[in-house]
């Protein structure tokens, strides 16, 4: 009896159409604000350099050479050498791997956990909502650098602990961001229709609400990735980064800062590296947010 037109979409077909819709939305958002492309390009270049670091770095980032200490930029060492004669360019390339890895893992987990919390709070409403969001607000009230500082200081500076500290400070904002659109979407007709068809809460949340709020969450993800890289560098600068001699940007600035009076370029180049990544991510996220934000839509 059922012909093709009235048959319910198969699961695969449904997922495909949802993915196409989401991807199309994102591409439209990109085109609405050209600076997003610039930001994405800048970020991808940094990712590429980080991935290729073992192949393209001119020296071993840990190789010490006492004869070439604190040398200014030259033909052999494009960005100079540090206190132990290590090549600054190579250390910046390798440091990118640490910054990106910590940022991506921390924000990835915060995004998943925060979105789940926000969706559950928004979807069920009532007392669950009040209690959960109150806890999030209390966490949010605490300055994130101070919270990160204390967690890392207590647990010890390792990549895993840095990820935990940064993710912890980023969960509440994602919960907030996921909650509002969940509340807006859950009363729309298509969700009611789904409920009438007897779909489970889980299916509604993940199959129908999540695709609707995903673009917004991804955009916030890019902005928070920028923040995470900034916080990781800040912690390393304070002395709570991945332990030396591993190259990290914040750690390099910390070491450069000790020689700032005679060799200021040591602190300068890693500073610029951080600035480039964070600025690229902010350009990307900011442009996309303008395009996606319904309050700004239809303007221009």
Partner 1 sequence: MTAFVLKRLGFAVITLFAVLTIVFFIVRVLPGDPAMAILGDQASQAALNALRARLGLDQPLYVQYLQFLGGVVVGDWGVSMVSGRPVIQEILKVLPATLELTFVSLVLGAAVGIPLGVWSAVRRNKLPDYITRMASLLGLSFPAFVSAVLLLIVFAIQLRWFPVISSGQGTTLSDRLRDLALPAVNLGLIMAAYITRVSRSAMLEVLNQDYVRTAHAKGLAFATIIWRHCLRNALIPVVTVVGLYLGILIGNSVLTEIVFNRPGLGKLIIGALNQRDYTMLQGMMVIYTLIVVLVNLITDLTYGLIDPRIKYS
Q: How far is the CB of 215 from partner 1 (least distance, A)?
A: 19
- Please, what's the largest Cα pairwise distance for the chain? 85
CA 63 vs. chain centroid, Å, equals: 31
Q: How far is the CB of 123 from partner 1 (least distance, A)?
A: 24
Q: How far is the CB of 74 from partner 1 (least distance, A)?
A: 20
Beta carbon nearer to partner 1, 7 or 260: 260
Q: How far is the CB of 16 from partner 1 (least distance, A)?
A: 36
Q: How far is the CB of 113 from partner 1 (least distance, A)?
A: 18
Beta carbon nearer to partner 1, 202 or 261: 261
CA distance 93 to 158: 20
Q: Give yes or no for a cis peptide into 138 (omega within 30° of 0).
A: no
Beta carbon nearer to partner 1, 211 or 251: 251
Q: How far is the CB of 239 from partner 1 (least distance, A)?
A: 8
Beta carbon nearer to partner 1, 108 or 239: 239
CA distance 223 to 174: 11
Q: Which residues bind partner 1 (CB under 8 A)?
A: 137-138, 140-146, 149-150, 153-155, 226, 230, 233-234, 237-240, 250, 253, 257, 260-261, 264, 267-268, 271, 274-275, 278-279, 282-283, 286, 295, 300
Beta carbon nearer to partner 1, 48 or 146: 146
CA distance 5 to 300: 39
Integer CA distances (angstroms), 113 to 5, 64, 110, 169, 192, in order: 38, 42, 5, 12, 26
Q: How far is the CB of 116 from partner 1 (least distance, A)?
A: 21
Beta carbon nearer to partner 1, 145 or 183: 145
Beta carbon nearer to partner 1, 189 or 300: 300
Q: How far is the CB of 43 from partner 1 (least distance, A)?
A: 12
Beta carbon nearer to partner 1, 39 or 211: 39
Whether residue 61 contacts residue 90, with contact meaning beta carbons closer than 8 Å, is answered with yes
Whether residue 231 contacts residue 238, with contact meaning beta carbons closer than 8 Å, is answered with no
CA 91 vs. chain centroid, Å, equals: 22
Give the three-state DSSP class for 259: coil
What does the H/E/C string look like for 85-146?
A: CCEHHHHHHHHHHHHHHHHHHHHHHHHHHHHHHHHHHHHHCHHHHHHHHHHHHHHHHCCHHH
CA distance 236 to 23: 36
């Amino acid at each position: 009896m059922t012909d093709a037109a009235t048959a319910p979409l198969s699961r695969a077909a449904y997922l495909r159409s949802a993915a196409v819709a989401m991807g199309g939305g994102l591409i439209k958002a990109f085109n609405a604000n050209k600076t997003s492309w610039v930001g994405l390009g800048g970020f991808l270049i940094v990712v590429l350099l980080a991935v290729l670091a073992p192949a393209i770095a001119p020296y071993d980032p840990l190789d010490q050479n006492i004869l070439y200490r604190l040398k200014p930029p030259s033909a052999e060492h494009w960005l100079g050498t540090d206190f132990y004669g290590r090549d600054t360019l190579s250390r910046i390339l390798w440091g990118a791997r640490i910054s990106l890895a910590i940022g991506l893992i921390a924000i990835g987990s915060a995004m998943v956990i925060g979105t789940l919390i926000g969706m559950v709070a928004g979807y069920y409403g009532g007392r669950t909502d009040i209690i959960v969001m109150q806890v999030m607000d209390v966490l949010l009230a605490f300055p994130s650098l101070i919270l990160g500082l204390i967690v890392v200081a207590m647990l010890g500076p390792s990549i895993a602990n840095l990820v935990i500290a940064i993710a912890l400070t980023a969960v509440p904002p994602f919960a907030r961001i996921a909650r509002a659109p969940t509340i807006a979407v859950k009363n729309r007709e298509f969700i009611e229709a789904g409920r009438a068809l007897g779909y489970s809460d889980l299916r509604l949340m993940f199959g129908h609400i999540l695709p609707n709020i995903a673009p917004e969450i991804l955009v916030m993800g890019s902005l928070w990735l920028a923040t995470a890289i900034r916080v990781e560098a800040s912690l390393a600068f304070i002395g709570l980064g991945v332990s030396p001699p591993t190259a990290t940007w914040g750690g390099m600035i910390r070491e450069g800062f000790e020689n700032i009076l005679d060799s200021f370029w040591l602190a300068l180049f890693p500073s610029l590296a951080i600035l480039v990544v964070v600025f690229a991510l902010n350009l990307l996220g900011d442009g996309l947010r303008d395009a996606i934000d319904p309050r700004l839509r239809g303007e221009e």
